[in-house]
Amino acid sequence: MPKQLNFTYLPLTADADCSKLHETSKSYLVAFNQLFSFLRNNIVPPQGLKTVFIVGPESNCMIDLAIRNSTTSLQSLKKIIHENMRTYMSLRAQGREQNIYWITPASGTDNGSFYLLAPIYDKGTLIGLIGLERSIRLEQFNLRYERPISTFVLNANNRLVLHFPYDSNLRSDDYVYQLENFHFGYDNDFNRLIYKNRLLPSLLSVVFSVPISDIH
């Protein structure tokens, strides 16, 4: 196993203290380095997985364990990770600790990056957060290519994040955004059949829409 640690320390804020994260993460970074070296040399990484990162809430610093090149710019990546780290810590302080999931669109409206942020505990003490970034394409959600199914992903605030295809009619339809977490039925004009459900355990939702004329 290699002794050199192949990680990049990145400050998330102007007052970040990456030396603090370096000192507190030495023990498990050696194990991470060995695991990732083994995976790189012996196993093909999961398709779509771009990077794994570790965040120090007290140091405001992150460790980037890049697997593939991220399509998200470094500054944007640092910003969204810092924002969601603060969201996690705020929920934890309120006694509502939970993993954080989010999606950021890429250059197209039908693809982007999916993120997960989860805690790392050692003997009951929170020592950091671990996250991952992987690609997501809505085209892969539709396995029935013979039907003109439109696919939409909504965030925790029920706002549109991704949609496929680009000219989907539901993009500006407020009716969809007012639906409950689960819905199966017609739209207001009875022109389309709509199915909506949560992408558990996240707060994201997926919506599938198909014209009534293509069902019969």
- 2 has a pLDDT exceeding 60: no
Identity at 199, one-letter amino acid code: L
- 213 has a pLDDT exceeding 80: no
CB 210 within 8 A of CB 149: yes
H/E element holding 61? strand 61-66
Average pLDDT of the residues in 179-205: 86
Cβ atoms within 10 Å of 191's Cβ, excluding its own: 12
Higher pLDDT, 155 or 28: 155
Residues of the chain with CATH 3.30.450: 8-137
Average pLDDT of the residues in 11-34: 79
Domain 142-214 fold = Profilin-like (3.40.1840)
pLDDT of residue 61: 92
Percent of the chain whose predicted confidence (pLDDT) is above 90: 22
Domain 8-137 fold = Beta-Lactamase (3.30.450)
User: pLDDT band at residue 3, thresholds of 50, 70 and 90?
Assistant: very low
| pLDDT tens sequence across 120-132 | 888 888 888 999 8
Exposure of 190 in the CB half-sphere (CA atoms within 13 A): 0
Sign of the CA dihedral with 23 first, then 24, 28, and 29 last: negative
CB 66 within 8 A of CB 83: no
Exposure of 198 in the CB half-sphere (CA atoms within 13 A): 10
- 145 has a pLDDT exceeding 70: no
Q: Residue written as tokens 């004009």?
A: 189
Higher pLDDT, 35 or 75: 75
| Chain mean pLDDT for the chain | 80
- 30 has a pLDDT exceeding 50: yes
* Nearest one of 115, 102, 98 to 62, comparing CA atoms: 115
Q: Residue written as tokens 């070296």?
A: 37
pLDDT of residue 102: 94
CB 57 within 8 A of CB 85: yes
Q: List the 111-122 sheet strands across, edge first.
A: 8-11, 61-66, 49-56, 125-137, 111-122, 100-105
| pLDDT tens sequence across 46-79 | 666 788 888 998 899 998 876 656 666 788 888 9
Average pLDDT of the residues in 147-157: 84
Higher pLDDT, 54 or 5: 54
pLDDT of residue 38: 64
Residues of the chain with CATH 3.40.1840: 142-214
CB 71 within 8 A of CB 61: no
H/E element holding 35? helix 26-42
